[in-house]
């Protein structure tokens, strides 16, 4: 399988298209008491969102998905049942993730920094798989392609900030394939039918 190199103009057009289609949600976490905090979410366009709280061991301790598209959300959360420790509050709106770290301690709730991340862009057209991903955290990524029988292709992409690649899939048989972009902490899946 041969990796295709794209012209800079194609990359620029793709980057502009992705940038204009990206959501830009805002999320605030304001402690009210030692056990409670208000979580406020704003988004320019109505969208279905997912909100989760994950402990530092990776366990999801809270999950909510909106029933319908909305622009804003606000709720007071009671963290009294959470053990003291570090947590991450993650908001997912379409392909955008906004996460905010916070600490629960006996003396109160301490809110940390926010991180804005975007899911990778996958497209399949004319036997070419296109991939674009902004690797803000500098993690080492691998691309794997699977069919019903297992792994058919593997590529180590490294840890570059701007990952843009194209793959000629003309040599693959017709069928359904799962494309998995993964690092130690993240995994993104895209399904294509050839």
Residue 16 has pLDDT above 70, yes or no: no
The token pair at 15 is 């980057």
> pLDDT by residue (tens digit) across 86-130?
999 999 999 999 999 999 999 999 999 999 999 999 999 989 999
Per-residue confidence (pLDDT) for residue 103, from 0 to 100: 95
pLDDT band at 21 (very low <50, low <70, confident <90, very high): low
**Can you tell me the distance from the alpha carbon of 50 to that of 64, in angstroms, rounded to the nearest whole number?**
6
Q: Which domains does the chain have, with CATH numbers?
A: 23-116 (2.60.40.1930), 120-193 (2.60.40.10)
Cα separation of the two ends of the chain: 15
Residue 145 has pLDDT above 50, yes or no: yes
pLDDT band at 185 (very low <50, low <70, confident <90, very high): confident
Report the DSSP beta bridge partners of residue 179: 145, 190
Residue 18 has pLDDT above 50, yes or no: no
Per-residue confidence (pLDDT) for residue 33, from 0 to 100: 93
> pLDDT by residue (tens digit) across 58-75?
899 999 999 999 999 999
Q: pTM for the full model?
A: 0.73
Tell me the CB-side half-sphere exposure of residue 170, using CA atoms within 13 A.
5
Decide: 121 and 16 in contact? Cβ < 8 Å: no
Per-residue confidence (pLDDT) for residue 58, from 0 to 100: 87
Residue 11 has pLDDT above 50, yes or no: no
Residue 20 has pLDDT above 70, yes or no: no
pLDDT band at 3 (very low <50, low <70, confident <90, very high): very low
3-state SS record for 100-128: EEEEEECCEEEEEEEEEEECCEEEEECCE
């Amino acid at each position: 399988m041969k990796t295709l190199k794209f012209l800079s103009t194609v990359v620029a057009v793709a980057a502009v298209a992705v940038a204009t289609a990206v959501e830009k949600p805002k999320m605030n976490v304001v402690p009210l008491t030692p056990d409670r905090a208000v979580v406020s979410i704003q988004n320019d366009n109505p969208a279905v969102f997912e909100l989760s709280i994950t402990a530092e061991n990776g366990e999801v301790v809270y999950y909510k998905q909106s029933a319908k598209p909305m622009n804003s959300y606000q709720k007071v959360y009671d963290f009294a049942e959470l053990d003291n420790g570090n947590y991450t509050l993650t908001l997912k709106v379409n392909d955008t993730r906004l996460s905010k770290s916070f600490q629960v301690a006996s003396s109160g709730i301490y809110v940390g920094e926010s991180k804005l991340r975007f899911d990778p862009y996958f497209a399949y057209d004319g036997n070419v798989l296109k991939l674009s991903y902004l690797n803000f955290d500098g993690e080492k990524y691998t691309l794997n392609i699977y069919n019903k029988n297992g792994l058919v292709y593997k590529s180590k992409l490294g840890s570059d900030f701007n990952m843009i690649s194209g793959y000629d899939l003309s040599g693959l048989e017709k069928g359904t394939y799962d494309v998995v972009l993964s690092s130690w902490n993240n995994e993104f899946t895209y399904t294509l039918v050839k």
